[in-house]
Structure 1
Amino acid sequence: MKVFWLFNHPAPYKVDMFNCLGEKVDLFVLFERSKEKCRNNVFYGEEKRFHYAICKGLKWGLMNSLSATPIKYIKKEKYDCIVINGWRTLTEMKTLRYLKKHDIPYIFAINGGIIKKKENIFIRKIKTKYIGGALSYLCPDDNSKEYLIHYGAKKENIHFFHYSSIFEKDIIKKPREEIEKIELRKKLANSNEKLFVSSGQLIKRKNFIELIKVWKNLPQAYKLLICGEGKLKKKIEKLTKKEKLENIKLLPYQKKKDLLYLFSISDGFIFLSKEDIYGHVINEALSQGLPVISSNKVNASLNLIKDGYNGYIVKLNEENDIIKKIKNETLLTMGNNCIETSKQNTIEQSAVDTLKAIEEFINKK
């Protein structure tokens, strides 16, 4: 079974899934660029155990590109399945137009999607043009499914996959005992402090400024670690200094194993993003027995978090409720539930789901 997959850049979690999938199929992945501009170099470096190449052509901005390389490969080789992951770059648009023009069936895959409440009719027509018309679709959650349907996909052609950045082996067997947590985090917090973590790119959409304003109204005994890099780093540092928030500490971008360790010794993960088409960090936190408090603007949270079971979903404009959830002692009892949720959402399962969708696609052609 020969599979062609066009993907923007070699994100480690996707490379991990490709490695698993490549054990079952003859997989060739064509990356549009070697890295996404906004990513820390530490983000990359996963070993690739599948055939791959990088597109030739123009590359600019965070992720855009223009290349005819995908079409050259599609013309040159005969593939049992072609997967186009997204439509936003000029390379993806060009490839989709070619496939449609020549009536070549393909799977259209997305990493997530959110329907805009107010959208220019011209933009909607463009999205519908490029999203519609695939023989099959791949998406990670119900919100993303509604996104695909909104822009022209047929409901019966949509397949789900468990989108994950976690292997089965990464998931801890049971939550750490409170005594162990306190001992392990002595360098990060005093023994009498509650330790919460947030992680992500320090950009406006991730809403860290608002999180800091919320934290200002919490007791000093509540410590917050913010892990990440980005344009707003200096602004965040100035704000915490100005407000004398000694219970907030900024950490640089953390490698996956270091971030998971940090999660395993914390009391809660908090994520008040204004918009996330998915959000791998949610399942990463759950995998370490860490309950999640998240805004209702994050697809991964809406997909994985059950209120009062493994965390809480909150609204961004309800600060009092957010604080109430942070102070809720039931968070300390949710660890096993978090782990059980994560066990159902692994890279291995993602590869199984994807293989099933590919096999059904081939049978349908």
Structure 2
Amino acid sequence: MKVFCYFVEPASYTLDLANHIYDDLRIEYCFIKSETLARSSKRSKKPFLDKMSLFSRVLFIFSQYRKNDFIIINGYNNYPFVLTFILNLFSFRKRFIASDSDTQLRIPTSLFKRFIKWFYLSIIFKNKYVLGFAGGSNSHKDLFRNYGMNEERIFLMPLMVDNRKFLQEDKRFPKIFTFLYVGRLVKHKNVEGLIQQFNARFIDEPAVLRIVGSGDREEYLEDRYSSSKVIFTGKKFNSDLETEFQNASCFVCPSAFEPWGLVVNEALSSSLPVIATNKVGASFDLIKDKNTGFVVDNMNDFGNRMLELYNDSDLLLEYAENACTLMKDHWNYDFYHKCLITAIKKVKKCQ
């Protein structure tokens, strides 16, 4: 059986996944976009659809549909998915199409948007030839269930980074307690709320908050909050980013909404306990009931949990060891490989 995959962009974690899993299974793939915010030193020689003419893109998608039996597409509302779905509607020889999604279930507040989303996703997800590849086992699967997909067509396809880049089994904590944030500096990441909680509790304590990243609120946040204790580093990639994780004590993810949050994978692999809001997708699979950190409902509780880990070195060490073990022994490429093979075998059986 021939399988093909459309990845969205050549982000560092996507290239690692493709190299370790898809290349190993001899699954061909391409990228919808050529640009990415998550830069990598690696370069892919695979096709980039946005570098093709419109006619060439359509021809490419049609060709892959014709040549393959099973097509995996990152997302469900981009043109490769829509065109592939339409081709399948009118084809006598049906292919199975998987929507690989990192999106949690969110019901729009606007009645109009809610109807449009329901109408579109119900058509897609109720189709018996469409599978759901959910990045997590909780709200990510609920997205497919809520819009009519049968349970037997929903598969966990764990969102993954190359843990081996970050693994730090013999964790050594810095002398000055270091909270680390890595991500974009945009409103829904709630970095300002994080800084306010830190300043309220640690202004007189030997602790620092390092903020790695950039975004449209960078200038505002830096002008207002930069100090010897709240340190803005700008963007960091590859080995520079790995060093930030290795030199930290605890990772913080205060987002008001986060579909998944691969930085949580990276932090846990680096033996860092993680404090995250319950809006962070990764929290359900990687933190909740795993004793690797805390999942909180509000920012006041967030600040209290920061203080708890700061004051309890035994708990900090326990969560650090659990974090490393979880990523090293369970949430890894072997697990992803097993999940993907399970889905492929199911498709083979149904053909």
Report the TM range for the smaller structure's normalisation. 0.7 to 0.9
- 1:364 paired with 2:350, answer yes
1:199 counterpart residue number: 182
2:307 counterpart residue number: 327
1:16 counterpart residue number: 16
Post-superposition Cα deviations, 1:52-98, rounded to whole Å, max 9, x if no partner, equal 31115789xxxxxx9424433225x5213211221222343223222
2:63 counterpart residue number: 73
Q: 1:56 to 1:288 in 2, by over 3 A?
A: closer
Task: Judging by fraction of residues, say which structure has more helix.
Answer: 2
- 1:122 paired with 2:116, answer yes
- 1:86 paired with 2:75, answer yes
The structural deviation recorded for 1:207 is 1.2
Contact 1:145–1:158 (8 Å) recurs in 2: yes
The structural deviation recorded for 1:257 is 2.9
The one-letter code of the counterpart of 1:174 is: D
2:146 counterpart residue number: 150
- 1:345 paired with 2:340, answer no
Post-superposition Cα deviations, 1:311-344, rounded to whole Å, max 9, x if no partner, equal 101123x41x222211112224321111111121
The structural deviation recorded for 1:173 is 2.3
Q: 1:165 to 1:96 in 2, by over 3 A?
A: same
1:62 counterpart residue number: none
The structural deviation recorded for 1:291 is 0.2
SS in 1 for 2:118: helix
SS in 2 for 1:334: helix
1:186 counterpart residue number: none
C-alpha RMSD of the superposition: 2.4
Q: 1:205 to 1:158 in 2, by over 3 A?
A: same
2:216 counterpart residue number: 231
Identity of aligned residues (%): 22
The one-letter code of the counterpart of 1:309 is: N
Question: TM-score, structure 1 length as denominator?
Answer: 0.83
Q: 1:67 to 1:346 in 2, by over 3 A?
A: same
The one-letter code of the counterpart of 1:53 is: P
- 1:336 paired with 2:316, answer no
Match for residue 110 of structure 1 among 101, 104, 118: 101
1:136 counterpart residue number: 131
Post-superposition Cα deviations, 1:216-250, rounded to whole Å, max 9, x if no partner, equal 20223321001001111101112215xxx431001
Segments of structure 2 that go 5 or more residues without pairing to the other structure are none
Match for residue 99 of structure 1 among 66, 78, 88: 88
The structural deviation recorded for 1:29 is 1.1
Contact 1:224–1:247 (8 Å) recurs in 2: yes
1:4 counterpart residue number: 4
The one-letter code of the counterpart of 2:186 is: I
2:187, 2:159 → 1: CA distance? 24
SS in 1 for 2:35: coil
Q: 1:198 to 1:149 in 2, by over 3 A?
A: same
The one-letter code of the counterpart of 1:113 is: Q
Segments of structure 1 that go 5 or more residues without pairing to the other structure are 60-65, 183-192
1:339, 1:228 → 2: CA distance? 24
2:47, 2:245 → 1: CA distance? 35
Q: 1:219 to 1:24 in 2, by over 3 A?
A: closer
The one-letter code of the counterpart of 2:35 is: K
1:55 counterpart residue number: 49
The one-letter code of the counterpart of 1:232 is: R
SS in 1 for 2:47: strand
- 1:275 paired with 2:257, answer yes
The structural deviation recorded for 1:261 is 2.5
2:156, 2:95 → 1: CA distance? 22
The structural deviation recorded for 1:307 is 5.5
2:59, 2:335 → 1: CA distance? 31
The structural deviation recorded for 1:296 is 0.4
Which deviates the most, 131-140 or 78-87?
A: 131-140
Contact 1:168–1:347 (8 Å) recurs in 2: no
Which deviates the most, 220-229 or 81-90?
A: 81-90
1:362, 1:52 → 2: CA distance? 26
Question: TM-score, structure 2 length as denominator?
Answer: 0.86
Contact 1:71–1:98 (8 Å) recurs in 2: no
SS in 2 for 1:113: coil
Contact 1:135–1:361 (8 Å) recurs in 2: no
Post-superposition Cα deviations, 1:137-172, rounded to whole Å, max 9, x if no partner, equal 211212100111112211111111222112346422
The one-letter code of the counterpart of 1:351 is: H
2:339, 2:290 → 1: CA distance? 28
Q: 1:47 to 1:363 in 2, by over 3 A?
A: farther
Post-superposition Cα deviations, 1:29-70, rounded to whole Å, max 9, x if no partner, equal 12111014xx16xx134244xx731115789xxxxxx94244
1:22, 1:349 → 2: CA distance? 14
2:195 counterpart residue number: 212
The one-letter code of the counterpart of 2:42 is: E
2:244 counterpart residue number: 262
The one-letter code of the counterpart of 2:333 is: I
